Chain A
Amino acid sequence: MVGKVLKRTYVVLLFSFLYIPIAVMIAFSFNQSKSRTLFTGFTLDWYAQLFRDDAVLSALLLSIVLALVSAAIATVIGTMAAVGINRMRRGPRGVVMTLTYIPIVNPEIITGVSLMLLFVVVKAGLTMLVGSDSWLAQNLLGIPSLLIAHITFNLPYVLFNVAPKLRQMDYRLYEAALDLGCNSRQAFFKVVLPEIMPAVFSSFLICLTYSIDDFTISYFTAGNQQTLPIAIYAMTRKKVSPEINALSAIMFVVILAIILIANYRESAKNKKKRHK
């Protein structure tokens, strides 16, 4: 009896800690005053203001575009790399996988600072080689550097998602495809890729979230651009406007919707399978 009560309290506590802050944040996005302690009345003003705030909106746009593009590129490169690594002998494969693992455990701040130093050096080099008015030398620090940085820290996650799936796959499937007249490219696209597609897709989603989330590395490599986390951080010196609550509420609802739809699809699929 006591055990049951304890279990229940534990679960309730756990979910309270996870969700009460979000609930409070959403509630205060409807608060009339800027106060973070007193709820003075209901309003949608902050949402209206958010959609007129160019600084926040353009930061949001940059974050989304950056996430989509970097995730797509990282997924393609990472999948190609995984296919190659999978065909390596055991020794070299171990070495490559360990090398890939290090950036993941490496503190982000070190990755961020070292990438920034690299970009500054490259920029100086470019300026020396092609002159200071070349487009690349002037604009390297900004969207190009952000994109390169995001692809870089996304890559390992793709590798670690796709490589196990490849190893699970029966290699003889590929050989059979070759036997039945595919050339190697056809075999890859018709046999191997469909087999590993779930892993490729999930690594794309992981990259997407990591990229939108990232503050530390972006902070150092953003040049004169700002992603959404950087913009929000800069606004915290003064009292953070409830606009940010409104924005967070919208993002939470959108992500919740995506998760619900994904789960619904999954369960619908399972049902279909069972009916067969």
Chain B
Amino acid sequence: MKKNIAALSVVLVLLLGLLAPAALADTTNVEVAPGYDYTRFKDDRITLNVYNWGEYISTGTDGESLDVNGAFEKLTGIKVNYTMFDTNEAMYAKLKSGGANYDVIIPSDYMIGKMIAEDMLAELNFANIPNYSMIGESYKSQAYDPDNRYSVPYTWGYVGIIYNTTMVDDVVDSWDILWDENYSGDILMFDNSRDAVGIALKKLGKSLNPANDADVDLAMAELAAQKPLVQAYVMDQIFDKMEGGEAALAPYYAGDAIQMIAENPDLAFAVPKEGTNYFVDAMCVPVDSANKEAAEMYINFLCETQVAMENSLFIGYSTPQIMAEAAMPEEVKDDPIAYPPESVLQNTETFTVLPQELNDHMDKAWGDMRSSSSSEGGIGWVIPVVLVAILLVVVLVVVIGKQRKARNDY
């Protein structure tokens, strides 16, 4: 029998070998700006712990694009331990709990603001990041890091409305269309409180950062009014729904809209005139990083023109590195969704850090709005009733069991 297993494993290994890249193109060769000593840690056996969003770096798996981490390891001799998170909040919780130490993290704007306020980020030494000069001025000095001391922009994007031109006849230029009863049942909405509230506030002509509880309540009333028209609250399910033509209208991120339009040419993207959310994901170094200088070297590497361009092409989000933008293929550079004219971005705002109480209020109001059914009254009575029912069942089972046992013993 052992022979069988051996034979099978041989077959498996062979199969895997066949599937493995037919022509192993080297995807780790990279061109870097001259004059920077990338090899100074070559013999120090450093491991850099990098924590980034899932699918947010070029991996070279298609055999053509650049394997960014592999290229960095080959160039510098520093080992990269690359791990991924799925939300800013999960990343924050992990760092805050002390459950892990990282050298480079790439959170979004408002989370960077929060972490700066809580002294969780180290001030960067920009002498080690000369490529910072290639980051466009318009991406610097944002509200989350006004003096550019803690972060280097990695990608940026903004929210707009993606819609199916075969299903929508009106001109899409305002958030109002997401409240239009003609499209009842064909509208998708963000399934997270911050984005949804931001849109409702923008529709009302306010800032997308609620100033107080009253703002949140106003927005929530607006979202409750929209609820009967909404087909579903979604995050990444939006890809299937929009590409498959199951819904007509949805707010989403520009970078992802480009991907959806590539799959389904009937789709189009518009930025509402009331203004929208503009976001930046930026590279930072946590205060307890043991290899701060190597971390800065990694950040500098990600700002290299070729690396920034490859990353941006792979992720689909726009790059703030101006040389990389200039080096892009024409069809990307001239895409008005990826690199919109200045006028589009004039009305945009970034998220700011909300006070804890306001955040809690918003999450609770959002939860209530999402869970409330059309009938009046809450569902607070359900839990006690279910508990009592379970208790009754347990008692019943025990009693019946006892009786049966008594009968059998008899």
Contacts and interface: CB of A to CB of B under 8 A. Distances in A.
Interface in B62-112: 62-63, 67, 69-70, 81-87, 97-102
Given A49-B62, A224-B51, A234 B84 contact: yes
Given A37-B243, A53-B61, A235-B55, A141 B87 contact: no
Nearest to A45: B62
Interface in A230-276: 230-231, 233-241, 243, 254, 257, 261, 264-265, 268
A34 B236 CA distance: 13
A41 B81 CA distance: 36
Contacts of B19: 44, 47-48, 51
A238 B54 contact: yes
Q: Is the interface of A mostly helix, strand, loop or mixed?
A: helix
A240 B375 CA distance: 37
Interface in B218-253: 235-236, 239-240, 243-244
Interface string A212-244: 000000001111111000110111111111010
Contacts, number: 125
Which 6 pairs between the two chains have the least Cβ-Cβ distance?
A234-B84, A235-B54, A234-B54, A49-B61, A224-B49, A226-B83
A141 B22 contact: no
Contact of B99 (A33, A220, A238): A220
Contacts of A36: 239-240
Given A225-B83, A234-B85, A261-B4, A123 B16 contact: no
B290 interface: yes
A222 B97 CA distance: 13
Contacts of A52: 21, 27, 59-61, 63, 67
Contact of A54 (B1, B62, B69): B69
B53 interface: yes
**Which of A33, A36, A221, A224: most chain B Cβ within 10 A?**
A224
B243 A38 contact: yes
Determine the interface band of chain B, counting residues with CB < 8 A from chain A.
35 or more
A51 B16 contact: yes
Interface residues of A, number: 50
B60 A223 contact: no
Nearest to A46: B61
Nearest to A265: B1
Interface in A133-189: 138, 141-142
B8 interface: yes
A262 B5 CA distance: 10
B107 to A, nearest CB: 13
Interface in B1-16: 1, 4-5, 8, 12, 16
Given A237-B54, A239-B236, A239-B239, 5 more contacts: A48-B22, A51-B19, A224-B101, A224-B102, A239-B259
Contacts of B81: 224-225
Nearest to B17: A51
B263 A33 contact: yes
Contacts of B27: 52
A264 B70 CA distance: 43
A45 B62 CA distance: 8
B20 interface: yes
Contact of B84 (A44, A51, A226, A241): A226
Contact of A48 (B20, B69, B98, B102): B20
